[in-house]
Amino acid sequence: MAILVTTAIVGIVAAISLKGSRRPPMDPVHLQLPQNIDVAMHNARFAEIRHGITVWELIAGRAEYDKSGDVVYLSNIRMEFAKTRSTGAITVTAAKGEYSSKSNDVKLRGKVHVTTGTHASFDTESMDYLASKSQFHTSESVAFRHQRLALSAQGMELNVKDQKARFYKDINATLAAMLKPT
């Protein structure tokens, strides 16, 4: 009788431990990438380096590499240009864009916001960075603000090296009055 009770207890403990330790099978995760995308990454970093010096660094919340390897589709972009002896740093943010690994050009799309070291800011819906010229360019409507000046225009280019902007057409500027201390 003792053998029967012991065998029953061992059987019950074995059955409980087998059922308790078994995990339900997990469904496989299928991450479907678009057909033209080979690799996708989170928090990807890119940089343009000239003569051993970093010109800019770009961080994307998500980066998807085209199968050709030439184009990277980006989202949640933050691009920072290094401060130089003559100019301050430039920071650019955008909702999405494209990076060309061959030319280092960057297309920025959706809520593009640029700030300079002198606290000037530019807002537009699309802007391109042309690495060969170290220049931003847009033909879209752009809003510019710096200290007391607010300006809107159709189209603009911004030279990164000297941080000089040139506005193309339909320019409307407002200069706020300077308040005298009382």
Strands 165-175 and 149-159: antiparallel
Helices (DSSP H) in the chain: which residue ranges?
2-21
What's the pTM?
0.73
- 166-179 average pLDDT score: 87
What was the pLDDT predicted at 144?
94
Mean pLDDT of the chain: 82
CA distance 98 to 37: 13
Q: Which domains does the chain have, with CATH numbers?
A: 39-175 (2.60.450.10)
Query: E strands within 22-179?
Result: 37-50, 53-66, 71-81, 90-100, 106-116, 121-130, 135-146, 149-159, 165-175
What was the pLDDT predicted at 115?
93
Phi, psi of 87 (to 5 degrees): -135, 160
